[in-house]
Amino acid sequence: MKKIHVNLSANSYNIYIDKDLLVKVGEMIAKGKEPCKTLLITDENIGKIYGEIVAENFRQNNFDVKLLALPPGEDQKNIENALLLYDHCFAHKLDRKSLIVALGGGVIGDLSGFIAATFMRGIPYIQIPTSLLAQVDSSIGGKVAVNHPKGKNMIGCFYQPTAVFIDTNTLSTLPSKEMVAGFVEVIKYGVIRDAELFAFLEKSMYDIFQLNHEALLKIIATSCQIKANVVEQDEKEKDLRAILNYGHTIGHAIETITNYKKYRHGEAVAIGMLYASKIAIELGLTDNTVFERQLSLIKNLGLSIQTGLKSESIIKALYTDKKTISGRLRFVLPTKIGEVIISDKVSDEILYRILDNPL
């Protein structure tokens, strides 16, 4: 088992990564917490495979568990479901010492974390991420939110979990498109902070998609460690944490224009990373190999990279993103594999030039 400590003073916690954790998680939590009322939140896809396994493990350790499965999908991350979940918190008589457990992908993690952050002004919560994206990104770092019709993740806060339990076995049931979307976030970590991780992805893609345990352990633990280091230095995204948004500026614009229907988040981020690299080349910050190496990995994932979207609509969407500061766009740009800078010096002229050409 790998253990990564996220050092955030009073809000510190551990991330545990191993296979077969789902049948141990209740027991592990019981070592540090009195058994209590527990709301276990999942979605129906995940609930039917893993819900009872996890609930039973908690029950065996004397936790009073109520298991609740929402329909799957991004559109479930809304305030109406938050209200529904508060009703369940009241019905199950949760108090400030109770526990919320998020068993699922980023949708369930973000929504459950938001409930935990706001119910009675905050109660403890545990993340048990089951998608690769959630295991390497969304379950760590405490960004919790629901969507608003005016924008994704617009209603939320920073609220750290008490612990994160990553069971690599859960990836065996993850649909392959979701695995690909999560893999893109791992490429992101390689580009922003770790050339060795990037080279490992180039060499080991087959093993990773065959779910080789050692390969999974390596990419998940390395990604979690990178995210932990960044969050420790800048929990509330005043500056450094923005590097985690590499590929997300244009990626998010693409998702917005296509109403979150055409691209999975990771697919849009992959395109965003390629455009960010083109911008960096245009600005003389890096050379073409940085682009080519990412392109090759992304193509091997089978992702299509030409959007057919008009540069004008992408740029318009860029200016409505919450990542703009005082109306200026901020881009995370690679200088080499393993290193990025944050720049607000990308002119609209450059953007038009890059976005008007196919990748």
Residue 111's closest CA among 136, 79, 89? 79
Determine which one of 37, 218, 265, 293 is catalytic. Answer: 265
Q: Using CB under 6 A, which of 43, 110, 137, 267 touches ligand GLY?
A: 137
141 is a site residue for ligand GLY (CB under 6 A): yes
DSSP 328-348: B--EEEEEETTEEEEES---H
C-alpha–C-alpha distance, residues 138 and 6, integer Å = 14
- In this structure, which amino acid lies at residue 225? Q
Decide if residue 45 touches ligand NAD (CB under 6 A): yes
Segment near ligand GLY (CB under 6 A), from 4-12, 201-209, 210-218, 240-248? 240-248
Total residues contacting ligand NAD by CB under 6 A comes to 29
**Whose Cβ is closer to ligand NAD: residue 93's or residue 213's?**
213
Backbone angles phi, psi at 129, to 5 degrees: -75, 140
Residue nearest ligand GLY by beta-carbon distance: 244
Site for ligand NAD in 293-332 (CB under 6 A): none
Closer of 242 and 281 to ligand NAD (Cβ) = 242
71: which 2 tokens? 């329909």
237 is catalytic: yes
CB of 137 to ligand GLY, least distance (A): 5
For residues 105 and 99, what is the distance between their CA atoms, to the nearest angstrom?
Answer: 18
Q: Is 248 a catalytic residue?
A: yes
The active-site residue out of 31, 34, 80, 121 is 121
Contact status: 170 vs ligand NAD (CB under 6 A): yes
Reply yes or no on whether 227 is catalytic. Answer: yes
- Binding at 134: pick from ligand GLY, ligand NAD, none (beta carbon under 5-8 Å per type): ligand NAD
Residue closest to 136 by CA, chosen among 269, 295, 29: 269
Euclidean distance between CA atoms 352 and 200, whole angstroms: 34
Question: x/- site string to ligand NAD, residues 56 to 85, per CB under 6 A?
Answer: ----------------x-x--x--------
Longest Cα–Cα distance in the chain: 62
Tell me the CA distances in angstroms from 86 to 93, 107, 358, one per residue in order: 10, 17, 47
Q: Which of 20, 27, 44 is nearest to 163 (CA)?
A: 27
- Phi/psi at 7 (nearest 5 deg)? -95, 100
Catalytic residue among 227, 264, 278, 293: 227
Contacts of 328 (CB under 8 A, 6+ apart): 344
Contacts with ligand NAD, residue ranges (CB under 6 A): 43, 45-46, 49, 72, 74, 77, 104-108, 110, 130-131, 133-134, 137-138, 141, 143, 152-153, 170, 173-174, 178, 181, 265
Catalytic residues: 121, 143, 185, 227, 237, 241, 245, 248, 252, 265
